[in-house]
Structure 1
Amino acid sequence: MAPPHTRRPDQLTLDVVELIAEVVARYHADYDEAAAEHALTGAQAKLLSLLSLGPLPMRKLAQKLKCEPSNVTGIVDRLEARGLAERRPDPADRRIKMAAATEEGLRVARDLREGLHFAREPLAGLSAQERATLRDLLRRMLDA
């Protein structure tokens, strides 16, 4: 018997993968639309969303966004110019630059989350138990 990673996936698995890809594509389109309403690019909105969870080192932001640190520098520069983010020294190591959302940045990040319509409307059609099951299954997938 072939090892699990070399077997062809069954049709059900392929269907699930295609549906996940469609959900991701719609989420990104909705996110980009919500970002545009705030005159932000998708990358700026994603970075601001990360900063809304707390200050992060520039290098960590680059890892989370899967881009070069120089790209993060440019994104933070543009957010800083709009008063949505600021740079701070890391209290543990002043050589490290941290990026943080300003109060206005936190407000915009909250508005972005609330402006996402794609997931909210279909999820509202599911019962609380169905949403909990979906959440738990997605967590299991991510933890695997």
Structure 2
Amino acid sequence: MTKSPDSSGERAAEAWRSMFEFLMRSAPQRLRTQQEHGLTPNDSRALFSLDEDGRPIGVLAREWGCDPSTATWLVDRLERAELAERIPSPDDRRVKLVRATKKGLETKTVLMAAYHRPPAEMSSLSPRELDELTRICRKLCGR
């Protein structure tokens, strides 16, 4: 028999474990989509932080939680796939900015559409359960 959590912290931990388990079980669906585009999870994460304006590698490295050499390696991978490009900074000619290419922006759109397709398990929920889940997730996202 499963013991029900009795404190708020225990309840939150149980809810998070369940959400995390579901996200991990549905990860292969997202991974397949990335692989169809020749991307790894890290490539995908890096691509999603790029836009058409561009940002310096140092800024990207801090955002990605890695050193600049690792960020350079990731940008190199995205450049080889024609998803990103380095451009000169309009403010400082010594600085190169990294931005998504047209292909990169299109790939982000395709990936996001695939990520937004619900896992099959969600079809087992009733309309009322789906409404409640949506309400809770929106609250967690601050909406």
Give the TM-score range, shorter chain.
0.7 to 0.9
Tell me, in whole angstroms, the C-alpha distance in 2 between the residues paired with 1:53 and 1:91. 14
Q: Taking structure 1 as the reference length, what is the TM-score of the superposition?
A: 0.72
- State yes or no: 1:113 paired with 2:116: no
> What stretches of structure 2 of length at least 5 have no aligned partner?
1-6
Residues 50 and 99 of structure 2 are in contact (CA less than 8 Å); yes or no, is this contact kept in structure 1?
Answer: yes
Matched AA of 2:80 = A
Tell me, in whole angstroms, the C-alpha distance in 2 between the residues paired with 1:102 and 1:89. 14
Q: Tell me the residue number matched to 1:104.
A: 103
Tell me, in whole angstroms, the C-alpha distance in 2 between the residues paired with 1:88 and 1:75. 16
> How many correspondences in the alignment?
132
Q: Tell me the residue number matched to 1:37.
A: 36
Tell me, in whole angstroms, the C-alpha distance in 2 between the residues paired with 1:42 and 1:16. 25
Q: Tell me the residue number matched to 1:136.
A: 139
Identical amino acids, percent of aligned pairs: 30
Tell me, in whole angstroms, the C-alpha distance in 1 between the residues paired with 2:66 and 2:26. 20
Q: Taking structure 2 as the reference length, what is the TM-score of the superposition?
A: 0.73
Residues 82 and 103 of structure 2 are in contact (CA less than 8 Å); yes or no, is this contact kept in structure 1?
Answer: yes
Structure 1 residues 131-140 or 93-102, which shifts more?
Answer: 131-140
Deviation at 1:133, TM superposition (A): 4.3
Deviation at 1:131, TM superposition (A): 2.2
Matched AA of 2:141 = L
Deviation at 1:34, TM superposition (A): 1.6
* Cα 1:138/1:117, change in 2 over 3 Å: closer
Q: Tell me the residue number matched to 2:4.
A: none
Structure 1 residues 36-45 or 13-22, which shifts more?
Answer: 13-22
* Cα 1:36/1:97, change in 2 over 3 Å: same
Matches within 5 A, 1:29-68: 29-52=28-51, 54-68=53-67
